[in-house]
Amino acid sequence: SQQGEEDPQALSIQEGENATMNCSYKTSINNLQWYRQNSGRGLVHLILIRSNEREKHSGRLRVTLDTSKKSSSLLITASRAADTASYFCATDASGGSNYKLTFGKGTLLTVNP
Amino acid sequence: SAVISQKPSRDICQRGTSLTIQCQVDSQVTMMFWYRQQPGQSLTLIATANQGSEATYESGFVIDKFPISRPNLTFSTLTVSNMSPEDSSIYLCSVEVGYGNEQFFGPGTRLTVL
């Protein structure tokens, strides 16, 4: 089954606006991680939220996790042109090999100056 | 976190040849991973490389095609063998650092096979 499916697939906003991306998954997880990728380069780790956490903040990032709905959201506040990138969520399945990450297809965020 | 470097950063190769990608970490880590990202796609785990044991491959990936070495706790290589244009992808290594299963990624190797 497909884990970590993001929506929307693409999002275009103006600088200064907030951007919200969502991620859904299908099986129980230990953790959910969000990553950023600029123009097909390496992934930058943004934040990890554990299954027993509901919300986490890091700078302009706010991540929520709803395990009952098997979904997470990433909010970027006061966006900047430099935030233009693809954003991926990645989940690890609880039990067994929980280090294996399954990635969603990503959301392409474009922040227009 | 961890500082991860990969070599080469990109390469253009001919069909039928092989390319070895190196991954170096600035600290000792138990688990290293190799991922593939095909054009316009998300990441797919190829294999897990633990020092002192053979790599564990995911479904759809085999050792003959993607041999992996893990000679010590800071280094690993992935070879893409007998390449075809379908192997054109970004290949990324990652490591798990510290408590909590955070994984950090290298900058990737962009491979184009002609």
Judge whether B31 and B50 are in contact, CB under 8 Å: yes
Which pLDDT does position A1 carry in this prediction?
A: 31
- Looking at A1-5, A13-17, B16-20, which range is the least confident one? A1-5
- What are the structure tokens assigned to B27, written together? 């600290």
* Average model confidence (pLDDT) across chain A: 89
Contact B92, B38 (CB under 8 A): no
Which is higher by pLDDT, A93 or B14?
B14
Q: Is the pLDDT confidence value at A50 over 70?
A: yes
Chain B residue numbers with beta carbons less than 8 Å from the beta carbon of A44 are 105
Do the chains contact at A99 and B45, CB–CB below 8 Å?
A: no
Pick B45's closest partner by Cβ from A40, A41, A100: A100
Q: Which band of pLDDT confidence, cut at 50, 70 and 90, is reported for residue A78?
A: very high
Residues 6+ apart with CB under 8 A from A38: A44, A84, A85, A86
Q: Which residues pair with B44 in a beta bridge?
A: B36
> Per-residue pLDDT for A2 more than 90?
no
A45: distance to nearest CA of chain B, Å? 6
Interchain CB contacts (distance < 8 Å): A and B: 61
Q: Is the pLDDT of residue A60 over 80?
A: yes
Q: What is the DSSP letter of A55?
A: E
Q: How far is CA B33 from the centre of its chain?
A: 6
Q: Which residues of A89-104 are buried (b: 16+ CB within 10 A; e: fewer)?
A: bbbbbeeeeebbbbbb
Flag whether pLDDT at A5 surpasses 80.
no
Instruction: Give residues 87 to 106 of B whose Cβ lies within 8 Å of A.
Output: 90, 92, 94, 96, 100-106
Nearest chain A Cα distance for residue B5, angstroms: 10
Q: Which residue from A92, A96, A90 is spatially nearest to A74, judged by alpha carbons?
A: A90
How confident is the model at residue B51, as a pLDDT? 81
Q: How do the pLDDT tens digits run along chain B, 114 residues long?
A: 789 999 999 999 999 999 999 999 999 988 899 999 999 889 999 999 988 788 999 999 999 999 999 999 999 999 999 999 999 999 999 998 766 678 899 999 999 999
